[in-house]
Chains A and B, each alone.
Chain A
Amino acid sequence: MNSLDSTFAALADPTRRAILMRLARGEATVMNLAKPFKMSQPAISQHLKVLAEAGLISTTIRAQERPRRLETAPLKKAIDWIEKYRQMWEKRYKMLDGLLEELQTIQTQGDQK
């Protein structure tokens, strides 16, 4: 899987997005991440594994704790890619705006004659 695919696959799950939201506020342990969900720790660990493989989180090793933190680089890459596409549609519609204006001007001139 290329990285863009794995980024979107990771983002396609609401639990994983919720985990990313939580990590956006600061790093957290697996225990803390599991708290808001009615989910077993292995289930959360599975989600963390997907996020880690997509490069969206990293693990800090500190004493007995293994806090996870958000990595924004792959997200940025995905957003850049999407933005390029959205811009294409915006560009098309802006051209259409111009064309519509032109057509209406021609019509108005025709009406006045």
Chain B
Amino acid sequence: MKAEQKEVKMELRGETEVVLKRYFAAPRQLVFDCHTKPELMRRWLIGPEGMALETLENDLRPGGKYLYVYADSKGNKAGVYGEFREVIVPEKVANTENYAMDMSAFNPNAPEDPNATVESRLFETEGNGTLMTHVCKYASAEVRKMMLESGAGPDGMEVCCQLLDKLLLELA
């Protein structure tokens, strides 16, 4: 397997989606487990600079909820949470994605934001490895644009990357 296959590749699809692809040199079941089993997720899902993964709850079934909380040394916390929509072991996981910037005001039982991002991860066997396709689908083109303009949330940043990659290629 070539090294460049292991690079994260990002693209825009349609009006509302951002697609991220990454190859892993391991069988599909193993890659799937690493994305869904808390004890394995803890081993690699490191936080943003200076933040560590504190809470990792995953109720992996359609309708089940998940919550990941990152904390820094000063006690600042930020969370990612949502609900699983589709679970096909070891092939696909789809879920809603929300961000909680203020964990003290976080209510796990609050009704879900209808504009929540829906993300899905598809795992396909390719050669001796696995190709992961991660799709983030925003509620509308406006939401995607807003994510881009505000830079809020990791997925918005991916849109920016895509635009800038393209721009840089053309500028180079």
Choose one: B45, B151, B161; the contact of A92 (CB below 8 Å): B45
Is A31 interfacial (CB-CB < 8 Å)? no
By secondary structure, the A interface counts as helix
Interface digits, A94-112 against B, CB 8 Å rule (1 contact, 0 not)? 0111111101100100000
How far in angstroms is the closest Cβ of chain B from A14? 10
Residues of chain B contacted by A30 (CB below 8 angstroms): none
> Do A5 and B149 have beta carbons less than 8 Å apart?
yes
Residues of chain B contacted by A21 (CB below 8 angstroms): 167, 170-171
Query: Once bound together, how far apart are the Cα atoms of A91 and B51, in whole Å?
Result: 14
Choose one: B27, B44, B154; the contact of A96 (CB below 8 Å): B44
Is B48 interfacial (CB-CB < 8 Å)? yes
A interface bracket (residues with beta carbon within 8 Å of B): 20 to 34
A12/B145 contact (C-beta < 8 A), A17-B167, A21-B171, A85-B157 known: yes
> Do B25 and A12 have beta carbons less than 8 Å apart?
no
Interface digits, B137-153 against A, CB 8 Å rule (1 contact, 0 not)? 00000000100111100
Instruction: Give the contact stretch, choosing among A33-41, A43-51, A58-66, A76-84.
Output: A76-84
> Do B151 and A4 have beta carbons less than 8 Å apart?
yes
Choose one: B34, B154, B164; the contact of A99 (CB below 8 Å): B34
B23-54 interface (Cβ within 8 A of A): 24-27, 30-31, 34, 40, 43-46, 48-49
B158-172 interface (Cβ within 8 A of A): 160-161, 163-164, 166-168, 170-171
A residues adjacent to B (C-beta < 8 A): 4-5, 8-9, 11-12, 17, 20-21, 24, 75, 78-79, 81-82, 84-86, 88-93, 95-101, 103-104, 107
B residues adjacent to A (C-beta < 8 A): 6-8, 22, 24-27, 30-31, 34, 40, 43-46, 48-49, 145, 148-151, 154, 157, 160-161, 163-164, 166-168, 170-171
Complex A-B: 27 CB contacts under 8 Å: A8-B163, A11-B167, A12-B148, A17-B167, A21-B171, A24-B170, A24-B171, A78-B164, A79-B168, A82-B164, A84-B49, A85-B154, A85-B161, A88-B46, A90-B7, A92-B45, A92-B46, A96-B24, A96-B34, A96-B44, A97-B25, A99-B34, A99-B43, A99-B44, A100-B25, A100-B26, A101-B26
